[in-house]
Structure 1
Amino acid sequence: MSELRALLTPDGLELLDALGPIESTGEVAKAVSRLRAAGHSPDLVSAVVGQAHLRAKATAKFGEFAQRMLFTRAGLEQATRLGVGARHAQRLRAAGITAVADLGCGIGGDALAFAGAGLEVLAVDADEVTAAIAAYNLAPFGSEVRHGTAEDAYAALGDVPLPRSDASDSAEAGAQDRGKRAAQSGARAIWMDPARRTSGHSETRRVSAEDYSPSLDWAFDVASQVPTGIKLGPAHDRDALPADCEAQWVSADGSVVELVVWTGVLARPGIRRSALVIRGDRSYELTSGADAEDAPVRELGAYLHEPDGAVIRARLIGDVARSLDAGMLDEHIAYLTSDAAFTSPFVQSFRVRETMPANPKAISDALKRHDIGTIEIKKRGMDVDPAAFRKKLTLKGAETATLILTRVGSRRLAILADRVPAAS
């Protein structure tokens, strides 16, 4: 807290802006030495240099906005990318929402996107330092930021319109009407990004509702009453999601970054599963009323296709396969195959060169035949460490390729392939 107090002064902020972004640990050490030699206090030097380093890292999520923001290390790691947050804001506006209460705002990443879209924002965080940083980041928009719990902040919203959804409005026209009613009432939606209570968690490990703050039981109860968006880890237990919500998995530039539970007027009629794929400044979406039935299994063709992680998480692989006239390589493995070449934003495609048993000698022989010296290793359905496996291979050629290690039935298969350029 002493570092933050030192930083949040005219002199501290001026020093930070003058320092500029710091990219490497070597630059950190040099900046610390230079500022200490200039007579600045240890707290101020630590705060300023730390923020300059975080600003450099934050550029990937916030672009040029990062250079006027403040961060905590954990807050930056957990923050929503600005491009993803902007799409959330678009959904709120399309539903007729005019104000949003961000209950658990962190450093204000989502709130920043909401405010930038013209929504009235109330941002709340239970951590005093984090709330202060959010207040700084949201200051250009004049948004209200409070230090307090999500539960207390929600209770204080009693005099603000928080419309329930109308279960009878199931058609698109009904959704539009709900949006108009929401706008006319000055409706406020709720946004929550519940924090894990413990650090060092794994996205592959299932966690209980009580592992979050606020509790997911409480968050889902709120969501059943008012229009709400709840951001969760993409590996969250699907069986623990509300039955009547829209569950949207989001990937950004190849990485699945979040699962959002939408309710009320924010959940689109007839949609229960969605895969939103963002590449650069473009986005593509696949939606369905339920998990898709898998496509039939077929023999490996001329092309192998790896569905985007959001498609896999949303269990919409079968819909992608049928839209592309492709089949499953194995009923338990998320790879598709076809004889025809195609590009799709929902898959990464590979042209097959050769297949062989998944053992180092057979693979090394193939690499030699194809003059391969640089290899990308992908695996699915096989318990192997790609880095350790690479050391067992002979790589002496001039060409580049992709090696895919997978399983087809009881067979362990290696597929030597070339990436097909992604859809633009």
Structure 2
Amino acid sequence: MGRVNDLSALLTDEGQSLLAALRDHDPAQELALATRLRRDHPADLVSAALGQARLRQRAVAKFGAEDAHRMYFTPHGVEQATRRSVAAYRAARFAALGVRRVADLCSGVGGDAIALARAGVQVLAVDRDPLTSAVVRANAEALGLAELIEVRCADVTETDTTGCDAVFVDPARRGGRGRIFDPEAYSPPLSWALSAARTHPVAALKIAPGIPHERIPGDFRAEWISDGGDVKEAVLWYGAFPPGSPAVRATLLPGPHSLTGGGLPDPAVRPVGRYLYEPDGAVIRAHLVAEVARDLDGGLIDETIAYITADAARATPYATGYEITDTLPFNLKRLKALLRAREVGTLTVKKRGSAVEPEELRRKVRPQGPNAATVFLTRVAGAPSMLVGHPLPAAV
């Protein structure tokens, strides 16, 4: 869907009927389906409906089937939209701070606006693209949230946010050549977003997870958020935490589980013990591996590798634990012999600090058998190594 007229056509009774018929269509049969539908419907409408049906199928992973098949999307909007669980977490934090009206600047297709409205917060959703603004309006109507979401098509840098007690800014971080790593090349630039945030009691700015810590202003607090083990975003919060609170935090969803800290020295390097812990990506991005190592009474296997080794199995939401059965110098023949002796056919390969690709290793060792194992390709005290083990039970 590339034009406002396409969206308007999809909102008609005929367009709605087509979308309902295409809800569970098989993309492999799309050509034959399009030919059949064009016998009874305009070709442009069929094309728009098929395109929207494809976008809805892609959006299920972020929004869930119930919402995705009622909403409207653009290709860019699906790619950039906030995952529903992350948006709901952030909206709950705004609501808990007593925020009543948020200016959602660079609203995209409305994922965050929808979450805020569902949390009982009124939203001014602003985007400069006419089609995107029309999509937000259609989504608010489709989900019964139109009374809480005001949509405005405008340049966010020229938008009056008076009357809003908070702002949320989600600047574009992709350009024609892919991801943008310089925050000042965001659209709008991070410096503008920081200034806009400081004019309100509460603000949140969405940024790339790889932002250097030295770029975080002293009057903001940074939070890295992961969902299901995958780092989804980083957020700079203004006015959301008491003065003197830790500058960084890692939040893991579902949960949420939030770890704060900062300032601990790097853990000592120690020999590989019985257990290995792989910190969540948000913990690593927030530079909180030392806090997890302290809680596990553990140390690092290498000063440059974020794997924690410990002698006891302890429960933590901030790292995945493994029991290590073998520690080997890097040698594919030895690994292949070990896996054959253990009858390992299901091999999970993880790497950190190794140039070997997991698929390359599987192809060379050719695991066979009824058992499963995990191998870590990494460095131990500077030496290329292989650690073999298996995940700890979830209860541990």
TM over 0.5: yes
Residue of structure 2 in register with 1:208 after alignment: 182
CA distance in structure 1 between the partners assigned to 2:129 and 2:24 by the alignment:
26
**CA deviation vs aligned residue, 1:96-143 (integer Å, no higher than 9, x gap):** 111101010000000000000110111011111111101111122121
CA distance in structure 1 between the partners assigned to 2:242 and 2:13 by the alignment:
46
Question: How many pairs were matched up?
Answer: 386
Measure how far apart 1:291 and its partner are. 4.4
Aligned-residue identity in percent: 41
> Is 1:313–2:285 an aligned residue pair?
yes
Decide whether the 8 Å contact of 1:291 with 1:314 is kept in 2: no
Measure how far apart 1:315 and its partner are. 0.6
Of the three residues 354, 360, 371, the one matched with 2:326 is: 354
Query: What runs of 5+ residues in structure 2 fail to find an aligned partner?
Result: none
Distance 1:103 1:53, change over 3 A: same
CA distance in structure 2 between the partners assigned to 1:335 and 1:79 by the alignment:
32
Residue of structure 2 in register with 1:152 after alignment: 158
Q: What secondary structure, in the 3-state scheme, does the structure 1 residue paired with 2:69 have?
A: helix
Residue of structure 2 in register with 1:244 after alignment: 219
Residue of structure 1 in register with 2:194 after alignment: 220
Residue of structure 2 in register with 1:178 after alignment: none
Decide whether the 8 Å contact of 2:205 with 2:236 is kept in 1: yes
Of the three residues 75, 83, 86, the one matched with 2:85 is: 83
Q: After TM superposition, list the pairs within 5 Å mapping 1:161-180 onto structure 2.
A: none
> Is 1:190–2:193 an aligned residue pair?
no
CA distance in structure 1 between the partners assigned to 2:96 and 2:109 by the alignment:
25
Measure how far apart 1:381 and its partner are. 0.9
Of the three residues 95, 98, 101, the one matched with 2:100 is: 98
Measure how far apart 1:33 and its partner are. 2.8
TM-align CA RMSD? 1.8
Distance 1:17 1:394, change over 3 A: closer
Of the three residues 240, 259, 266, the one matched with 1:286 is: 259
Query: What runs of 5+ residues in structure 1 fail to find an aligned partner?
Result: 161-186
Distance 1:146 1:375, change over 3 A: same
Measure how far apart 1:380 and its partner are. 0.3
Decide whether the 8 Å contact of 1:291 with 1:315 is kept in 2: no
Residue of structure 1 in register with 2:50 after alignment: 49
**CA deviation vs aligned residue, 1:65-86 (integer Å, no higher than 9, x gap):** 1121011122112111111111
Measure how far apart 1:324 and its partner are. 1.6
Distance 1:102 1:391, change over 3 A: same
CA distance in structure 2 between the partners assigned to 1:242 and 1:199 by the alignment:
28
CA distance in structure 1 between the partners assigned to 2:358 and 2:242 by the alignment:
41
Distance 1:345 1:25, change over 3 A: same
Residue of structure 1 in register with 2:234 after alignment: 259
CA distance in structure 2 between the partners assigned to 1:292 and 1:127 by the alignment:
45
> Is 1:134–2:106 an aligned residue pair?
no
Measure how far apart 1:31 and its partner are. 3.1
Distance 1:197 1:275, change over 3 A: closer
**CA deviation vs aligned residue, 1:251-299 (integer Å, no higher than 9, x gap):** 00110000011002x23441311110013xx3211112x3443222211
Measure how far apart 1:147 and its partner are. 0.9
Q: After TM superposition, list the pairs within 5 Å mapping 1:27-42 onto structure 2.
A: 27-36=29-38, 38-42=39-43
The aligned amino acid for 1:106 is G
**CA deviation vs aligned residue, 1:128-173 (integer Å, no higher than 9, x gap):** 11111011111221211011111112xx224x2xxxxxxxxxxxxx
The aligned amino acid for 1:19 is L
